[in-house]
Amino acid sequence: MDLLSGESPQILSKSKRRFRSLKLVSVNDDDVLPETPYGVDYGRLSNGLTYYVRSNSKPKMRAALALAVKVGSVLEEEEERGVAHIVEHLAFSATKKYTNHDIVKFLESIGAEFGACQNAVTSADETVYELFVPVDKPELLSQSISVLAEFSSEVRVSASDLEKERGAVLEEFRGSRNANGRMQDAHWVLMMEGSKYAERLPIGLEKVIRTVTPETVKRFYNKWYHMQNMALIAVGDFPDTQSVVELIKTHFEDKTLALDPPLIPQFTVPSHEEPRYSSFVESEAAGSAVMVSCNVPMVELKTVKDYRNLLAESMFFHALNQRFFKLSRKNNPPYFSCSAAADVLVSTVKAYIMTSSCKQNGTTEALESMLIEVVRVHVHGFSEREISVARAFLMSEIESAYLERDQMQSSNLRDDYIQHFLRNEPVVGIEYEAQLHKTLLPYISASEVSKYSENFRNSLSCVIKTIEPQAAATVDDLKNVVLRVNSLEEGSIGLWDDEKIPEEIVSVEPNPGHVLQQLEYSCIGATEMILSNGIRVCYKCTDFFDDQLEQSWAACIQLGKIMTGRGSTEHAMHMSKEHILVGWNSPGWQHPGRHETRSASTRPEGAQLSTQCTCRKSMFWSAGTVLGGHIQVVKYTTGSGSTVHAMHVSEEHVLVGWNASSEDSFELRVLAEPCETRAYAVITCSGRRGPCWSASQRTRSVLDATVEDVSGPTVEVAYSRGCQRHSNQGGAAAEDVKL
């Protein structure tokens, strides 16, 4: 049944708004991207303050404001370490106009978002103050801009103010001294070694926080907080932008222009050829992990060539992460999860980063697997199929962004303008970005993408870190792994085992059912249909987002106990089926405790494809009743924290989930729709590893089960009409169960 047949005006965009109607642009690599930010009233006051003002109605009657200051902890002298962060705290404490935390009281009184790490952040290169305020009353916007104006030049730094804030800053300092904070700081120092950044962590030094004088804080504030170093950004539900510009002038134009302000210096980070290593043993660590980071120079996005390189880089990370994901879903994987990304560290440097979480004593295996995969890309490159998947993914992302451009949140737009001011990141508008994607993506080759693996070479400012709860891998072990992988690169390394993608999920269309009953819920504008196989479908048309369809299929389990051990349930989709969905869906699993949900987000045109994948190839358990009731156990693996799930091998098989969440327990759940009921049968076994089981449905109300295991585990059989418990010392082992 096609619930979304045709092109409903309630769901699909008008043709003139559609992505496919966008024309390609004629560009050359050396063409300069627009420097003036798109869609915003942009300018500079006579005193040097830059401003950005844009009207945006998402959400209604709200505005996202920010004061961005190009002043961070790297500008501190030795006796000032931590002062940039202290200034941020003092701003909310008292200014010339507002005293005794009046700013906090004002924000709370109007229902503005306020809290720790929510309204301001201090980093090495900048400090950003943010407000998200209601604007249903004109005076609220004026008062909010007035608050930011006070932050810019009127922060009060008295002895009493400083003493009141020392405690809060010290508490934040102590909170950052946990295991995670200590390891992050140590890794930062290794990456930044030889530069001032290594010695200027924003949190500062405890000694300075305790003893710094008001005069020192005031000197830092007066030296660097000048209008030329600041920008005021306002994005919100404004009737017009000019009135907001006038408010900015009212509150900021009387601020004096500094005649000879000090220039903001640029600090370099020295490169190094030999990898640096750190092996952390931390009892508080949640598990074992590996991180590989390589510093590369920060390149400003100025030309079309730079934009093309950015797209190629994004394709590289997508293709590499797909390989990592597939490796994590194999038998005895080298890690539980692994991902790669680029991250801006400071104004002059960004890092290529790979991180993985792995089993205890498995850090060297995880590291070797990560490095080998990068070497494999460097030697053989990505296949054309991998590149086509990455290309389709990026095209789908920009299409969604374009079709939903009128639903962009004000806070996201504000953040774009913040980065334009701080890092000269161009804001060219989503329409031009979409045109660039359509123009450039088809011509980005596999070799062009694969070359980004060179940025992970361990001779390029590489830092390797491992984290373990108990001592296992040493620095020498890590060095040996790197040497071993380097020798592989010099010798030979095999091609990636690529897989074939089927052309379709369902090769033979099933016989259609019919609607037994249709219910209308006018109070919420929803419709529910009860189908002939017992499935209930509920749908609602909204205008929240253009061109988006959300699907959710739930298997409800009315049991108090459905989990054993520490782990959570996670299902691996069959990879070839997943690739069919590239450009259409964002699939996901949820297991909140009493139910499981398979969900997908897709464009309306992809509704049928998404439904086929969701129903047939995931956790829509009642499909087993429609297609035949044969459950086959494919594989079982246990181990500390590992989770492996058996997948069906044909359309007639219902999913069987094996969960081995600890060494001493496992969970087996069989969910199928028994005959004329809508209940689900669930088996939970607790015992040592290695049990075998068999079960058969003998009647509509009883599910009998036996388990074979030397320790005689308990088997719980839950059913809507009752619950039986069997304690078995033996039983017939079976590889499959027939309903």
Residue 488's identity, in one-letter code, is L
DSSP letters of 585-598?
A: B--EEE--SSEEEE
Please give the Cα distance from 597 to 619 (Å, whole number). 8
Residue 641's identity, in one-letter code, is G
Lookup result for tokens 């190009």: 70
Give Cβ neighbours of residue 412 (< 8 Å, ≥ 6 apart): none
Give strand pairing partners of 303.
32
Q: What is the signed CA dihedral for 483, 485, 490, 492, rounded to 10 degrees?
A: 150
Nearest Cα residue to 349 out of 228, 201, 234, 197: 197
Token pair, residue 82, equals 């931590």
| 3-state helix vs strand vs coil in the chain, percent to 5 | 35, 25, 40
Please give the Cα distance from 214 to 209 (Å, whole number). 11
Reduce the DSSP state of residue 31 to 3 states and report it: coil
Token pair, residue 7, equals 């092109």
Token pair, residue 225, equals 């907080």
The three-state DSSP-derived secondary structure of 184-245 is HHHHHHHHHCCCHHHHCCCCCCHHHHHHCCHHHHHHHHHHHCCHHHEEEEEEECCCCHHHHH
Distances 146 to 157, 232, 393 between C-alpha atoms, Å: 19, 11, 44
Lookup result for tokens 């797209």: 311
Q: Are 277 and 479 in contact (CB under 8 A)?
A: yes
Active-site choice (80, 88, 150, 433) = 88
Reduce the DSSP state of residue 500 to 3 states and report it: coil
How are beta strands 50-55 and 230-236 bridged, if at all?
Answer: parallel
Q: Is 165 a catalytic residue?
A: yes
Reduce the DSSP state of residue 734 to 3 states and report it: strand
Active-site choice (80, 126, 165, 399) = 165
Altogether, the residues listed in the chain come to a count of 739
Please give the Cα distance from 722 to 702 (Å, whole number). 8
Q: Are 660 and 666 in contact (CB under 8 A)?
A: yes
Nearest Cα residue to 25 out of 312, 428, 313, 440: 440
Number of H helices and E strands in the chain, helices first, is 18, 26
Give strand pairing partners of 667.
659
Cis check: omega of the bond before 333, within 30 degrees of 0: no
Please give the Cα distance from 177 to 204 (Å, whole number). 12
Q: Is 284 a catalytic residue?
A: no
Please give the Cα distance from 599 to 589 (Å, whole number). 7
In the Cβ-directed half-sphere of 506, how many Cα atoms lie within 13 Å? 16
Reduce the DSSP state of residue 365 to 3 states and report it: helix
In this structure, the number of other CB atoms found within 10 A of the CB of residue 735 comes to 9
DSSP letters of 613-664?
A: HHHHSSS-TTHHHHH--EEE-------TT----B--SSTTBPPEEEEEEETT
List residues with catalytic annotation: 88, 165
